[in-house]
Amino acid sequence: MKLTLDQRAAVESLDQNCVVSAGAGSGKTRVLVERYLRILEREREVVNPFPCVLAITFTDKAAAEMKDRIRQGIRKRAERQQGSRSDLEPPWSEWLVQVEGAQVMTFHAFCAALLREFPVEADVDPQFAVADEQECGEWLTQVVEEGLTRALEKKNTALESLLLAWGFHGAVTGLERLYGQMVALGWSAEELADRTHTHLQEMTSTREREEQKHRLQFRVAAEALVSLKGGKLLQRFQQAWPNLVARLHSQDHRERLWVAQTSLSLLKGNWGRDSTLLQWREQARTAVQSWAMVLKGMIAAPQEVELAAIVSDLLRDVEKAYQQRKSERQALDFDDLQMRAIRLLQEHTPVAETLRRRIRYVMVDEFQDTNPVQKELFQLLLPGPAGEQVPGKGFVVGDPKQSIYRFRGADVGLFAQTREEFLAVGGSEVLLLDNFRSGKGVIAAIDRLFTPLFSDYRHARSYHEDGEDAPVEVLLDRGEEKTDPLEAEANAVSKRIEALLQQGTQPGEIAVLFQAMTHVKVFAEALTKLAIPFHVVKGRGFFQQQEVWDLIHILRLLADPEDRLSLVGCLRSPLCGVSDETLYRLSRREEWYRQPQHWAAWIEDLPYEQLKLSRFVADWNRWRRWVGRIPVADLLERIIRETELREIWATTPHGKQAIANVNKLVRMARQWGEGMTYSLSAWLERLQGTLARQIPETEAPLAPSEQNRVALMTIHQSKGLEFPVVFVPELAKKPQVKWGEMQLDRQWGLVMKIPDAVGGWEETDRWVQWRERETERAREESVRLFYVAATRAIRKLILSGAPQEHKGAATGKPLLSADTWAKWLDGILGYDRIDWERGRWTFPGEEDGPTLTVRTFTGEAESEGDVKKKSARMSNSLSTPIDTAWRWWEPRGWTAVDRLEVSVTDLTVLANCPRRYFFAEILQMPEWEGETKFGSHSSTGPLAPRVRGELIHRLLETMDDIPQSDADWMPTVQRLLAESEIHPANHERALRQFQPLVRAYVQSRYCQEMHTMAGQLREAPFTLERDGLRVTGTIDRLHCTRDGHWELVDWKTNDVEADEVEELAQEYLPQLQLYSLAIRQVWGIELDRAVLYFLKPNREIAFTVDHRWMNAAEETLTRWTDRLQGEDSSSFPPQPGKRCQYCPYAAWCDAVQMS
């Protein structure tokens, strides 16, 4: 195919700098290759023209592909010459030999070559090694820990408050992150300190102006409220106003803050419906919120300055020690390569002149993904030897709409900056708008969809007609069944894929692209049910795979025979494969884990289980003798071979991937040499370092012959790829943005929260301004991510998810004020405009324009049997086999990804004892109850607490009127007992347990005043998404009291005495915090009070919900997210205490003896 006119313009722009804005599928790689070949033609008089051209790509794979295409282009031209070359023609045949020396490489590879060429000037060892990420992480952690330890010896109060809030481990992680951001920006610690100090000084004057402005705005609105007539809340504000206005202009910032916070509290609640009153109230609230935030910043300013200095000093220490550590090992990291190359060109003019004279053309691909350091390096290469402008030397290609690597430091603004710089010196811009990838229908829909999302979107031109009747589809959840919406969506996507396969589409032609891999397992399970072949591209992470952990467990057990967690992991893995019943019976024996020689004798009535244990113990003893005598890799290989693990995994649905991962672990054991070849303890120590730093390690790739499978991958992984059919699920997923406590900003330097007096964090006005700006930028990148996903499709694009209303659209708010792709669809197309009967969705005012085909899905309600399976506990029958052989060969427990979707109950367990959570949810150990409870036909004994709680909650949910006697609610209880399959013989005893609890509720204010409470929500389900964590739960009661305060009430049915209530309430505090966050996020309500109502002692514990409460809730949720992203049991330490005596996992927990 010939070059288009636009492509030809880019290729032939050899005499002027050129920036190419290349849309998706526009053939930019071809343009780069053709321009490279055109340069060779121009330089045909040069014996070896390759050194004069530098082509930069962002990955080694892209560099290899580009060099191969250049080689092919040279070969074709050489074949056309066939020995009849004239003197005026380029020597293509000779160049075919020389092409291996072409400088087509990444920024890092170019910098490494430059430093090796000029080692003396660069002050590096010519034999320097490029340290890998693992080594750099270990060195950096060591120097940060050492630096913190030294700093703590100085007894600095401010540093101690920082560590109280951060924790030592959090401080190490935080400083490592800040150091990484600092070097990515190309700064030294000194430059960071200067930038931060300058901006903090600017903030002082800014705050004074803002404080006066917001104070005046508040006074104007407040005085307007004082002049109006209204209800009790307005009257309360009017009564307080004289005292407030008297302190309004106090010279004491803290007193003014008291005025602001008191006013804000008075402005809460339900103020009626008078529009004038509500308008002034809203203006007062907005002004006083801004005023209070500025005042907090003014008060925190001295502490902020002090902390910034402390952090800068720590980073100086880290910078010096880390550089020394690398110097001792004659190693450079990737950041060193770039920074030293820049310094070399800046400080050594002869080197710069030599390089600029040699390199006459610089081409950079994917320029939208460059960071400031790479941009600076590019700028240093552009001039001529004497620093003069060289027209045509600079050539960059990219697409700002596809800039999605901001988390790596990429700055999309650098593309526009470079374009302006080129145009200012007579350069040109070429737009590549022809799309050679997608069909006309796909392109038309994408153009119409993204025009309102981008400020400068240019429509593409298609070179292909559609081969599809419905090139763009939307699968929408009608939400008509009560089931997990995510499972329903995954099932719908899988069924649609099944239909496509039946129509002739090959599995390898289909890709499912995720914003993040958080819920990929749900979709994988749905595909497995339909026997659809698939593979997760670099999915879930290598160190989250069950087969990998099985081998890590046995290695840890060999290194420490008393590692009980690893022992349990081995016993439940294919290495042994005993049942939960066997494991439970072993654990009943005192110090069972130290007596493996007796295990078989303890279960004589289970001969098959005896055989499993005997074989495992024999294997274990034999493997222990090999430790230290043979390399770790050989030890692993022997274990795998003797237990036939590869054969076992081969029988599973994803066995080929599992085998590839097992082989990769063996290869890693061989590669991690240097003192670790024979030392198992050293090898495990390095592994622990890798896990602790969460260094990404992808799964082993499958062979090409295994690639005809549906690909499940992130959108980032799909960049540069294309697929005939693309699914983009989870339209309703909120972007995962995690700010932490400190960050670096390109203009402001260090921005931070401030540690408070109780070990938490306070936001300052400076932090809030930064966060709001970054949130806007993150949302803009979310648009670009959506665009990248959509433009991977060749024939068919299928979007799926739950419809969400863009609530701001009706009031004129910007489209991007909403935070999910589903809401953007509503703002652009409008869900109310769907023709559900015909399954058509057209764009407003364009009936003849692109049409989206709409298919709907609903979740299938779970069968009664499925519900029983999910809620079953193993306490009913120990003699019944509960596992099958197949169960042991499947991945068990939650991986680091799966853990991100949890219930409120799970998180409450996590908060009170992380180790119990680890046993229950990650290892999925059976929960053994000491006393048999009745909750089914066959059980006897007292009503199980879980069943009692469920029934009480269902009863209270149905009470719409105040009962006058027990007879008013007894029939409902009897119906609920029957529905719960509790035997009629047990009903009377159950009623006796119910009676005091229900009577307590009936006499409470929650029942007696129910008709005076507005906005009631009962048993309201919710999903809270934050930083990748998806939390599900149910709000017992939410209402607005007569005095205008929003109140959350959580019923508790615990069998607890009055003097135990306060202690127990602290264990439920994290649960209330989660509910508070969910209420704000889902319903937009700011709570005033959260209450735990214990029905048995008829006592309530109330907590005031204010900004401190909500900040503490945010911090708690962040800690949980970090813990759930941990790789192993070290992220889930035990919390011994009184609860241990009731814990169903006491037999397996080392901490029980401590408590």
DSSP helix/strand/coil, 474:
strand
Read off the tokens for 915.
Answer: 């180790």
Strand partners, 762: 754
Give whole-number Cα distances, 468 to 142, 439, 794, 959, in Å: 58, 9, 10, 55
The DSSP 8-state label assigned to residue 921 in this structure reads: I
Contact by Cβ (8 Å): 1121, 1027:
yes
Contact by Cβ (8 Å): 322, 137:
no
Report the alpha-carbon distance of residue 58 to residue 1120 in Å, rounded.
Answer: 35
- DSSP secondary structure string, 686-749? HHHHHHHTT---PPPPPPGGG--SEEEEEHHHHTT--EEEEEE--TTPPP-----SEEEETTTE
Report the alpha-carbon distance of residue 817 to residue 382 in Å, rounded.
Answer: 41
Give 744-749 contacts, CB < 8 A, sequence gap 24+.
Answer: 744/178, 744/181, 744/182, 744/185, 744/192, 745/770, 746/185, 746/372, 746/411, 747/195, 747/199, 748/195, 748/196, 748/199, 749/192, 749/193, 749/194, 749/195, 749/196, 749/197, 749/198, 749/199, 749/308
- Alpha helices, DSSP H only, in 43-188? 60-81, 92-98, 107-117, 119-122, 133-152, 157-166, 168-184
The amino acid at residue 1151 is: A
Contact by Cβ (8 Å): 1089, 1048:
yes
Report the alpha-carbon distance of residue 990 to residue 978 in Å, rounded.
Answer: 11
Cβ neighbors of 1033 (< 8 A, separation 6 or more) are 903, 904, 905, 1021, 1022, 1024, 1074, 1075, 1078
Read off the tokens for 769.
Answer: 């301004």
- Residue 453 C-alpha from the chain's centroid: 24
Report the alpha-carbon distance of residue 375 to residue 753 in Å, rounded.
Answer: 31
DSSP helix/strand/coil, 1089:
strand
- Residue 596 C-alpha from the chain's centroid: 42
* Nearest CA among 594, 529, 588 for reference residue 560: 594
Give whole-number Cα distances, 888 to 470, 522, 574, 1147, in Å: 44, 20, 6, 22
Indicate the annotated binding residues.
Answer: 22-29
178-195: b (≥16 Cβ within 10 Å) or e: bbbbbbbbbbebeebbeb
Contact by Cβ (8 Å): 626, 680:
no
Give whole-number Cα distances, 51 to 100, 246, 373, in Å: 11, 77, 23
Read off the tokens for 99.
Answer: 């092409």
Tokens 């219930």 label which residue?
A: 903
Q: Would you say how long the chain is, in residues?
A: 1155
- Residue 927 C-alpha from the chain's centroid: 30
Indicate the annotated binding residues for ATP.
Answer: 22-29
Dihedral-angle region of residue 1103 (phi above 0 means left; psi in -120 to 50 means alpha; beta otherwise): beta
Q: What share of the chain is helix, strand, coil (3-state, %, to 5)?
A: 55, 10, 30
- DSSP secondary structure string, 758-779? TS-EE--HHHHHHHHHHHHHHH
Report the alpha-carbon distance of residue 884 to residue 928 in Å, rounded.
Answer: 19
Phi, psi dihedrals of residue 252, rounded to the nearest 5°:
-90, 115
Q: In what order do the strands lie in the sheet with 710-714?
A: 534-536, 710-714, 510-514, 723-728, 793-801, 472-477, 851-857, 840-842
